[in-house]
């Protein structure tokens, strides 16, 4: 049997993290979580993830900076980044793509929208 794909969920809203975790675990994924950018960067340094679901607006290190750090990873591991955010204006989207994001998923979203994007990114 193939190893479970690992996804890191990064959001400062614990309810969002829990909701996404439940959806992904039900679909058979292994899920890690972080409540801010600094914790996310520590986990990415220590563990391997196949996909990062990343909020933009977080205290301290924001999602764009986390994505830029992922792109500069010296180990060469650069999992795709999906921004899961309420910031879906064109300037935020441009900044997200420039920082290394692949897709934007706007909050609020449905479980089927989340899974459609996750499955597309995981199968790349």
CA dist list (Å): 12 to 18, 44, 60, 64: 11, 17, 11, 14
Mean pLDDT, the chain, whole residue set: 94
Among residues of the chain, what percentage have pLDDT more than 70?
A: 98
Looking at per-residue confidence, does 113 or 77 come out higher?
113
Asked if the 6-58+79-122 domain carries CATH number 3.40.50.2300, the reply is: yes
Per DSSP, 63 falls in state H
φ and ψ at residue 14, rounded to 5 degrees: -60, -35
Q: Report which of 4, 72, 19, 16 is spatially closest to residue 41, judged by C-alpha positions.
A: 72
Chain segment 26-37, per-residue pLDDT in tens: 999 999 999 999
Q: What's the whole-number mean pLDDT along residues 66-76?
A: 87
83 CB-near residues (< 8 Å, 6+ apart): 54, 55, 56, 63, 67, 96, 101, 103, 104, 105
Q: What span, in angstroms and rounded, lies between the C-alpha atoms of 81 and 115?
A: 14
Model confidence at 1, pLDDT cuts 50, 70, 90, reads very low
What is the average pLDDT across 65-92?
90
Q: Give residue 2's pLDDT band: very low, low, confident or very high (50, 70, 90).
A: low
User: What pLDDT, in 10s, does the model give residues 10-63?
Assistant: 999 999 999 999 999 999 999 999 999 999 999 999 999 999 999 999 999 999
User: Both tokens of residue 80?
Assistant: 């795709």
Q: Distance between CA 42 and CA 92 in Å, rounded?
A: 25
Q: How far apart are CA 20 and CA 17, in angstroms?
A: 5
pLDDT reported for residue 88:
79
């Amino acid at each position: 049997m193939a190893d479970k794909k690992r996804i890191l969920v990064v959001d400062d809203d614990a309810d969002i993290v829990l909701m996404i975790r439940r959806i992904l675990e039900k679909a058979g994924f292994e899920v890690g979580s972080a409540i801010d950018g600094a914790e996310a960067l520590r986990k990415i340094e220590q563990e391997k993830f196949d996909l990062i679901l990343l909020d933009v607006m977080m205290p301290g290190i924001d999602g764009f900076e986390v994505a830029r750090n992922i792109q500069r990873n010296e180990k060469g591991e650069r999992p795709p980044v999906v921004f899961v955010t309420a910031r879906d204006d064109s300037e935020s989207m441009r900044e997200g793509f420039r920082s290394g994001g692949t897709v934007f998923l706007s909050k609020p979203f449905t479980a089927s929208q989340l899974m459609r994007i996750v499955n597309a990114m995981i199968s790349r």
